[in-house]
C-alpha cells in the first residue's frame, strides 16, 4: 500500500503526515522515503514516524504455476478459475498480470494494491519471458523482426523484443509490454500460429522448476527482496 494511506489508517492526519514527511521525520528501514505515496509493506519493513515505530500487517505475495484450461478471473465469477487451485485463505488475493485460458506458467498474486498498480502500469516496462511453440516452422530471420519491433492490429508497433530460437517450432521471447494477446499476435504477424504459450518470468520472478503445474506457494524472502525494486 501507499505510505500515506497506511499512516492515515493508523490515525494520523493528512496534515501531520505531510509535515513529518517534509521535516524528514518519517523513516522506512532507516531511510527517509522518496515520496509520501511510496509503496510499502508494514509487515516486512520498519516504519517510524516522529521516533515511534508504526506496525502493521504484512501483505500476501505468492505465485501459481497456472495449468492450461483455467481462467484468470475472480473467484466464483465463472467456472474453473485459477482461484479454484488456491487454498481458501488466498482466494481473495488479486492476481497481477492475467494469463488467458490456454496460457500456462507463472502467475503472481498480491494484495499490496500499490505494488500491483506499479507493476501493471505500462511505464514500468515489466520484463516478461515466454516459451512459445508454433504450428509452422520458425526461421532465424524471425529474430531480427522481433528485435526491430513488430506491427500488430494493422497499425500498432510493438516495442523491440528479444527472440531466442530453441528449435524449429520453439522460441523464447522476452518483452516489456503487455498488449492484449500480444505474443500470439506478434507471431501471427510473421505467419506463425502459436499452439502453446508458457510464461517463464514476470519482472524479477522466475517460474520455479520445482513448482508443479497447479501448485502455488508464497514468495521466498529472496524473491520478495527482488520485487522491492517496484516499491516506488
Active site residues: 100
103, 199 contact by CB (below 8 A): yes
Query: What does the DSSP assignment read for 28-64?
Result: ETTB--SSTT-B--TTTS-EEETTEE---PPPPEEEE
128 burial via Cβ count (<10 Å: 0-12, 13-18, 19+): buried
What's the sign of the alpha-carbon dihedral 36, 41, 44, 49?
A: positive
Distance CA 115, CA 110 (A): 8
Residue 187's CB: how many other CB atoms inside 10 A?
25
Closest CA to 8 of 40, 32, 34: 40
Determine the 3-state secondary structure of 164 from DSSP. strand
Distance CA 26, CA 152 (A): 47
Amino acid at each position: 500500500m501507499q505510505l500515506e494511506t497506511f499512516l492515515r489508517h493508523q490515525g494520523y492526519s493528512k496534515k501531520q503526515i505531510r509535515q513529518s514527511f517534509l521535516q524528514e521525520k518519517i523513516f522506512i528501514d532507516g531511510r527517509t522515503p522518496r515520496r509520501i505515496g511510496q509503496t510499502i509493506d508494514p509487515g516486512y519493513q520498519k516504519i517510524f514516524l516522529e521516533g515511534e515505530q508504526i506496525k502493521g500487517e504484512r501483505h500476501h505475495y505468492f505465485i501459481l504455476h497456472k495449468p492450461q484450461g483455467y481462467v484468470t478471473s475472480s473467484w466464483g465469477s465463472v467456472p474453473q478459475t485459477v482461484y479454484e487451485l488456491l487454498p481458501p485463505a488466498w482466494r481473495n488475493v488479486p492476481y497481477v498480470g492475467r494469463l488467458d485460458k490456454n496460457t500456462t506458467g507463472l502467475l503472481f498474486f498480491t494484495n499490496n494494491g500499490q505494488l500491483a498498480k506499479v507493476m501493471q502500469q505500462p511505464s514500468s516496462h515489466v520484463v516478461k519471458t515466454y516459451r512459445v511453440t508454433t504450428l509452422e516452422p520458425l526461421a532465424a530471420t524471425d529474430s531480427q523482426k522481433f528485435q526491430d519491433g513488430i506491427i500488430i492490429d494493422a497499425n500498432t508497433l510493438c516495442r523491440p523484443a528479444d527472440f531466442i530460437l530453441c528449435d524449429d517450432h520453439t522460441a523464447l521471447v522476452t518483452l516489456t509490454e503487455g498488449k492484449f494477446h500480444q505474443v500470439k499476435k506478434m507471431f501471427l504477424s510473421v505467419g506463425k500460429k502459436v499452439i502453446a504459450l508458457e510464461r517463464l518470468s514476470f519482472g524479477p520472478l522466475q517460474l520455479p522448476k520445482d513448482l508443479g503445474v497447479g501448485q502455488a506457494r508464497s514468495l521466498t524472502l529472496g524473491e520478495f527482496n527482488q520485487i522491492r525494486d517496484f516499491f516506488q
